[in-house]
Structure 1
C-alpha cells in the first residue's frame, strides 16, 4: 500500500517557510507519512532565499520543491504592504500549484496552506485532492479575530483605531486599540480588504490546524467547538496541535556566545532579540542599552542596525556598535554580551543560564521561549505582536510589558530596567510568580505532545479524518 502523502504550501519568506517546515517535520515523524512542501519564492532571485530553502531541505525528511512566483505588479499598488503582496501573490499561483500537483508521481491526499494561501484552496478541488486545510502558525485568539473580522466589518462603523469600547469577539478576550492587528489599522488599505477576504476563506476549508494547545487556551478553543456565534462563523473543526517549534540543532562548541553563557549562573541572563525585522530607532536603541545597564542584570543582546541606519550601504558591524551609548561596552564588559550577527535562538533559550527573554512577541519566538520555561519581557512592534503581548501578560501570565506600545513611544531606560529586574532578579515577588507560571507552561507543553496528550490526540484525530492514518 502506498504511503499517505500530504502537500504543504509555504508562502514567500523564511518566516513563513520555517513554520510550514516544522509542521511537515511533525507530520512526517509522528504520522509516518510522506510530506511534500511547495516553497513559493519571492521572485527576487535572492541568493539568501535560495540558500535558506536549500538549508531547510538539508535538515528535513520532507521533500521541498521551489515554486517560482508570478509577477503581480499589475495586481497591487506600488506602495502595497508586504502582507498584501504575499496574499495576492499566493492567489495568483493557482495554476502553478495545480500544474505542480498534476506532475507528481505520488498524488497527495490532502493540501495544507497557511493563512496567506487560502486563495489556493480551490486548486486542491481542481486536482481532486480529498481535503484542504489551513495551518495557523499562531494562536487561537488570533484565529478567532481572523474569522470574525468579516462580521466586524459589517457591524462596526468608522476606523477600529477610533473605537471607544473594545471589539467583542465571541468566547474570547475583547480586542482593544492596543491589540489591533496591523492589518486592521486602516480599513481603506488593500491589506485590510485582503485580511477580510482571508477571514471569509478560512471557514471554506475542511478544517484548521492551529499552533497552540488545549491547556494553554482552553477557553478560546472551547468557543470554536461549543454552540455559539464563533462556532457558527467558523463552521469547520479546529485542531490544536501545538506547540510546534524548531528543535535544537548542533552548535559549534567553541561558539563565543555559549562560552560566555557557560560561565553564568543558572537563570541569571536576559536574552534580548527583536526578531529578524525588529529594528529600533537610534533613540530607542540608546534607551534600551541604558536600561539594560541600569538593571544590573546579565544579558545577551542580539543587536540589529537601528532603523535610522537602514538606508546605509555599509553592513559593517562597527555601524551597529556606534548606535550604543559611549562607553557602554566597556562598562558592561563581563556583565553583558552584544552580538551583531545571527545567533542560534532556540539553542540560546535552551541554555541553563537564560532566565528571561526580551522579545518582539512573534508567536514562533514566544513558543520557543515558553517550551523552555523562559518568561518574557514583551516588546511588540508590528503585525499581531500586540495581541500576543496582551495574551502573554493578561491571560497566560508569563510576561511583563511596557506601559505604552514601543511602536508608538520611546520606552525610557528606567522602565526598561524595572521590567528586566522583574523578570530576572530572584528577589522580585511578582517575577517569582511569573517564573513559576512559565515553568507550569513548559510542563504543560511537554505533556500536550506526550503520547495520549491533548495535541498528540488532536493530530491523530485530524489524520484519521483525512485518511492519513487508519
Structure 2
C-alpha cells in the first residue's frame, strides 16, 4: 500500500519480553505493508526489569532499519509495592509512573507522531494522544476470546456475587463462547486484589481509543470477532472498531540455531521425534512439580529438549521481571532428581533458563511442544505447525489452552489445571506419548498445519488481516484529514 504523505506512528510497549515481542512485530508489519511510514517504539521499563537493550538482544533484535526504538528511563516502583503485589499490578504501576516520560518524549520529537498505539496495559496513555490531537489505538497482544471476557467483565462485576472461581455455572458472554469459572484470567482469581481493579479499568478504557487491533485473524476466531463487532451488548460496551491483524509472531532467524550444541543434537534426531518443553519468558513451576515433570519426561521414553528454570514456589510468573540462577551441581541442576542428567543424556537435552524457541520449534526433528500457552508462544507453534501439550500457568493461558484443545483440536491438556494441583508423572508420560505418537500426534499435526496455512493466508495481500491493517492506516489518514 502507498500513502500520499509520510505517516509517523508511535507504539508504546509495556514492560517485559511478552509485550515487546508482539509490538516489534506490529511495527515491522506496518513498515513492510505501507510505503512512507515511520514507526517509533517507546519501551517502558523499570529498575527491576532487564534493560531494553537486553530484552531486544534476547529477541534476536539488534536494530530495525525502518523502526526507531527508544528505551524510556526506567521507573522505580519499589516504594509502591509489597512482596504480595501481583505482576499485573506492577506492570500497570510501571506504565503509570512512566506517563510523564512518554509525554515528554513525544513532545521532544522533531517529527511528532501522527498516531499513538498502546498495548493492552498502556491504556492510561490514551489521554496523551488526545492532548496532541492525534488518533489513538489499542493493540491487544492476545486473542479475541480473551478480549470478549476483558470487555464483558465490567458487566459480570455487577452480576456475579462472591469470587468468580467459586461459581458453579459458566459465565455467559452474549454472542460468544461461555467461560468456565476455573479458566478465567488470573486478575479475576481474587476480586479484592488490586490487579482485578486494574483489569476492570483497562477493559473500560478500551473504548477511549479510536479502534482496537487484536493479534488474531478472522478465520481462527469468527465467533468471538463477530461478537465484538456486531453483538448488541458487547459492541455497545466496546463502541469502537475491531481490527484482527494477526497472526504477528517472530519469524525464525535465517541463520538458524546459534547454539551449536543444540543444533547438532537436533540434526541427529528423526523428523517429528523431539518434544520441546518451555513455559515462556516468565513461567515458573514449584519444586514438587519440577520433580514430577522430570520423572514424567523420563518415563515417557521420548526425546526432549527442556528449558529448565529454578523453582519459585507460589509464583507461576516468578521469572517475569528477573532471571534466577540455575544452581547447577556436577550432575545438572540441584532441583532435579539425583542422577537425572546422566540417565537422560542420550535422549534429553537440558537448557538452563532460555532457548531459541522459534528456531527450535521450526527444526524438522521437533514434533511437539509442552507450552504454557501464552499467546506469543501459541502463534509461534502454529507458525511452526507443531502440536501442543497445554500447561497453562497464569494470565489468559487457561483460556488459550482450552481453545487449542477443545475447539481447535491441536492440543491436549492435563485433567487438572497445572498450578492448582500437581500434575503427576504418570499423566505427564501419557500426554507426551500421545502427542508424539502416530495416532493422536498425527491428527493434531495435520490440524495445526491447516491453522499454519490459514494464518499465512490471512496476512497475504487482499486477505482478512491484510485488509484489517490497511483499514487502520486509512482510518489514521482520515482522522488526520478531519482534524
SS where residue 275 of structure 2 aligns? Answer: strand
| Residue pairs, 1:100-139, within 5 angstroms | 100-129=105-134, 131-139=135-143
Q: 1:29 aligns with which of 24, 29, 32?
A: 32
Contact 1:297 1:425 in 2 (8 A): no
The residue number in structure 2 matching 1:246 is 250
SS where residue 346 of structure 1 aligns? Answer: helix
Mean CA deviation greater in 212-221 or 8-17: 8-17
| Residue pairs, 1:427-446, within 5 angstroms | 428=439, 430-446=440-456
Cα shift at 1:52: 2.5
The residue number in structure 1 matching 2:147 is 143
SS where residue 329 of structure 2 aligns? Answer: helix
Q: 1:393 aligns with which of 396, 402, 405?
A: 405
Contact 2:275 2:368 in 1 (8 A): yes
Question: Is 1:156 paired with 2:166?
Answer: no
Question: Is 1:8 paired with 2:11?
Answer: yes
Cα shift at 1:374: 0.5
- Alignment coverage as a number of residue pairs: 466
Question: Is 1:344 paired with 2:356?
Answer: yes
The residue number in structure 2 matching 1:374 is 386
Relative to 1, partners in 2 of residues 1:281 and 1:467: Cα closer, same or farther, differing over 3 Å? same
Relative to 1, partners in 2 of residues 1:301 and 1:314: Cα closer, same or farther, differing over 3 Å? closer
Contact 1:359 1:365 in 2 (8 A): yes
Cα shift at 1:53: 4.4
Q: TM-score, normalised by structure 1?
A: 0.93
Q: 1:229 aligns with which of 229, 233, 237?
A: 233
The residue number in structure 2 matching 1:425 is 437
SS where residue 389 of structure 2 aligns? Answer: strand
Q: 1:168 aligns with which of 158, 166, 172?
A: 172
2: CA distance between counterparts of 1:75 and 1:420? 43
SS where residue 18 of structure 1 aligns? Answer: helix
| Residue pairs, 1:10-409, within 5 angstroms | 10-32=13-35, 33-44=37-48, 48-53=51-56, 58-60=62-64, 61-72=66-77, 79-129=84-134, 131-249=135-253, 250-251=255-256, 255-307=260-312, 315-318=326-329, 321-409=333-421
1: CA distance between counterparts of 2:463 and 2:293? 41
The residue number in structure 1 matching 2:459 is 449
Q: 1:458 aligns with which of 457, 460, 468?
A: 468
SS where residue 416 of structure 2 aligns? Answer: coil
Relative to 1, partners in 2 of residues 1:295 and 1:47: Cα closer, same or farther, differing over 3 Å? closer
1:388-439 residue CA offsets vs partner (Å, 9 max, x unmatched):
111111112110000001111111111001111111111x2x3332221111
In the alignment, structure 1 segments of 5+ residues that lack a partner are none
Cα shift at 1:197: 0.7
Mean CA deviation greater in 150-159 or 84-93: 84-93
Cα shift at 1:462: 1.5
Q: TM-score, normalised by structure 2?
A: 0.91
2: CA distance between counterparts of 1:308 and 1:55? 25
Relative to 1, partners in 2 of residues 1:335 and 1:118: Cα closer, same or farther, differing over 3 Å? same
Relative to 1, partners in 2 of residues 1:372 and 1:315: Cα closer, same or farther, differing over 3 Å? closer
1: CA distance between counterparts of 2:325 and 2:352? 14
1: CA distance between counterparts of 2:224 and 2:190? 27
2: CA distance between counterparts of 1:417 and 1:400? 13
Contact 1:43 1:68 in 2 (8 A): no
SS where residue 58 of structure 1 aligns? Answer: coil
2: CA distance between counterparts of 1:21 and 1:338? 29
In the alignment, structure 2 segments of 5+ residues that lack a partner are none
Cα shift at 1:92: 3.6
1:247-291 residue CA offsets vs partner (Å, 9 max, x unmatched):
112345661111111111111111011122222222211211221
Mean CA deviation greater in 73-82 or 56-65: 73-82
SS where residue 371 of structure 1 aligns? Answer: helix
Mean CA deviation greater in 366-375 or 329-338: 329-338
1:35-58 residue CA offsets vs partner (Å, 9 max, x unmatched):
0011112133x6654432477662
Relative to 1, partners in 2 of residues 1:109 and 1:392: Cα closer, same or farther, differing over 3 Å? same
2: CA distance between counterparts of 1:91 and 1:280? 30
1:300-333 residue CA offsets vs partner (Å, 9 max, x unmatched):
1111112369999964433862322233333323
